[in-house]
Amino acid sequence: MCRHLGYVGPPCSVRDLLTFGSHSLVRQSWAPKDMRGGGTINADGYGVAWWGREGLGRYRSAQPVWADPPLRETLSHIHTGALIAAVRSATESMPVERSACAPFVDGRWAFSHNGVVRGWPNMMADLAAPISATDLSRLEAPTDSAALWLLLQHRLREQPPVRALASLVLDVDAAAPGSRLNLLLGNGEELWATAWDHSLSVLVDENLSIIASEPYDDDPNWKSVPDRHIVSVRPGHLIVTPLRTGDL
């Protein structure tokens, strides 16, 4: 299972945000601690999306993050106060290529999925019915995560982020029981994430807010997100809500 990271806080270089701490995202790519049986390392590429004055920038590579020179040569020169990053462990039968690496982006939104959709793609039939042929043609890669992003984009046009994410997780779980659905979404000011059968932690204080598959250091203020919950964070703000149909 992939590992992802969301950050909103004081400006830092993209490289520092990926390498900071004794258990940074780069370290989690080759020595993750909490994969829960979903793979061993995250070597099938990585990606990062950052918000800046010119809007949303993105860099992705099919290389393992530790072996990709632009991490050092380029991403150390880009500074941002908001970022989403992911290191990938491709699910069996899904392609290892740049276009399959999260984050997926649209306008000011960036998105990552840590997990697997059981029975993909056959389980998509009903869920994808409301999506137009034009939008379906925008599927970036033949993977479950890219398909989830199409479904989520559609819902984000009509629903606020918490509702769009929560309804998507509940609908996908109903269509594909046993799926692992840790989703991460950001707009440059706020981050939202679901914990659905995978590890997730948050660190929030007055200045920063971080969501991570695994804590990147030993700071005692990291909080583990309980399974089947959704979190909203921004600096000085943390809301944790159960994912239940009746609460939507």
Enumerate the active-site residues. Answer: 2
4 phi and psi, to 5 degrees? -135, 170
Using the rule CB under 6 A, is 94 a contact of ligand GLN?
A: yes
Position 188: which residue type? G
What's the CA gap between 36 and 180, in Å, rounded?
11
Residue 171's contacts (CB-CB under 8 Å, 6 or more residues apart) are 127
Choice between 46 and 109, CB closer to ligand GLN? 46
Buried b (16+ CB within 10 A) or exposed e, 196-227: bbbbbbbbbeeebbbbbbbbbeeeeebeebee
Using the rule CB under 6 A, is 165 a contact of ligand GLN?
A: no
Q: How far is the CB of 94 from ligand GLN (least distance, A)?
A: 4
Q: How far is the CB of 29 from ligand GLN (least distance, A)?
A: 11
Using the rule CB under 6 A, is 231 a contact of ligand GLN?
A: no
What's the CA gap between 176 and 12, in Å, rounded?
39
**Which residue from 27, 60, 88, 155 is in contact with ligand GLN, where contact means CB under 6 A?**
88
Report how many residues bind ligand GLN under the rule CB under 6 A.
16
**Which residue from 5, 8, 26, 90 is in contact with ligand GLN, where contact means CB under 6 A?**
90
Which residues would be at the binding site for ligand GLN (CB under 6 A)? 1-2, 39, 88-91, 94, 100, 113-116, 143-145
